[in-house]
Structure 1
C-alpha cells in the first residue's frame, strides 16, 4: 500500500506512522518549574543524537509543562523507564493540572541529582542529568509553525545502579527498558545479540 500523509488516505482504522517508526525509547523527563514544583512526564519521541558531547532530545506535541519548565530553568533529567516501572510511568502520562506533581500522583519517590536541581526518579536504574541547549519549534515543508517542540539537552551527569553492570558493561536485559510502539503498544528489551562492524 501507499498513502500520502497530508491526505492520510491509508484506509486503515488507525494511522500506522508511529507503528512504523518503532520501537522508540521513552524519555521519562523530570523537571522543576520556576517555583520549584516537580514535574514528571514520559515522551515517546526521544533519543540520543550524539555521544561527544552526549546530547539527548525529546519532542513534545504542544508546549507542555516539561518544555516550559526546561525553557525557564535550563535543566532536566531523563530517567530510565524499565519494565517494573511501567504502571508508574503510564500514570505520569495523565493530563493533570500544573499544580499536581506526577511524582505524588504515581507514588514515585524523588532522589536528588548531583549537578542539576531537577530531581530524578529514585527507582530508575539509570538517569541522565541534562543542561538545556535549545528548544526548536518545528515547521512544515511550507514553512508554517507546528505545535511541536524539540528540546535538546547535554548530558552532564549519569547515574547507574551498580547492580545493572555485568563484566564492565550495562546489561539491559536485567532492567528491561521500555519502548513505545504504535497504537497503545509497548515493548521491553529482554534479549540482545551482537554484530561486529564488517571489515573491508
Structure 2
C-alpha cells in the first residue's frame, strides 16, 4: 500500500498518522485562564524536543469551527502550564477530561480531580501524578504559518515533581513502576511496562 498524503483529506491523514506513529506519550496539561479558572486537558501530539534548555512541545489543534482550545488560550494569556505524564492508574480520569466543556468550565472542578499547588507557576498540578513538569511558555508557533491547523506550544521546564515511588535509584526512573500509558490509533492505548534493553554502538 502507498498513501499519497498530498491527496488525502485531513481526517484521513490524521487517522493514518495517529494509528502508525505509536505509541505516543500523553501530555495532561493544567492551565489557568487570565481570570483564574482552571483547565485540564490531554494531548497526544506531544514530545520532549530539547534538553538545553529543557523544553517540551504540545500540539493544540484548531477546532472545526475555527476556535482555539482553552489550553492554548490560557497559556497564551498567562505564560504558564503544568504538563503531567499519565499513568495507567489515572487513565480513566485523563480520558474524562477529554470531554468537550464550554469555555470557562473547569474539568478539575466538574470531575472533582484532586490537585496540589505548584511551586514555580500558578496552575495547580494533579495529585497522584507520578511526573509533573512546571513550565513557562517559551514560544507559540502556528503551523503551517500561512493557514494554521494547529498551534505548537513550546514549554520550558522549570521544575519537575517525580514521585519517589517510581524511582529505581537517585538518578533513574523504573519504567515498570512509572507504568505510563501511550496513545495508539482510535480508542486504543497501551502500557509501557513491556520493555527490553539494547546497548547503543559506540
> TM above 0.5, one fold?
yes
- Structure 1 gaps, min length 5: none
What's the offset of the Cα at 1:147? 2.4
SS at match of 1:96: coil
Q: Following superposition, which runs of at least 4 residues in structure 1 exceed 3 angstroms of deviation?
A: none
Task: Determine if contact 1:32/1:73 at 8 Å carries over to the other structure.
Answer: yes
Q: Distance in 1 between matches of 2:177 and 2:168?
A: 10
Matches within 5 A, 1:60-139: 60-62=60-62, 63-139=68-144
Cα shift at 1:99: 2.4
Give the 5 Å matches for 1:1-200: 1-8=1-8, 15-62=15-62, 63-139=68-144, 144-168=146-170, 169-199=172-202
- Secondary structure of the residue that 1:128 maps to in structure 2? strand
Equivalent pair of 2:42/2:98 in contact (CA under 8 Å):
yes
Please provide the CA RMSD for this pair: 1.6
C-alpha displacement of 1:81: 0.9
CA contact under 8 A between 2:25 and 2:85: conserved in structure 1? no
Instruction: Please state whether the residue corresponding to 1:77 is helix, strand or coil.
Output: strand
Gaps of 5+ in 2: 63-67
**Whole-angstrom CA distance in 1 between matches of 2:15 and 2:173:** 35
CA deviation after TM superposition for structure 1 residue 102, in Å: 0.8
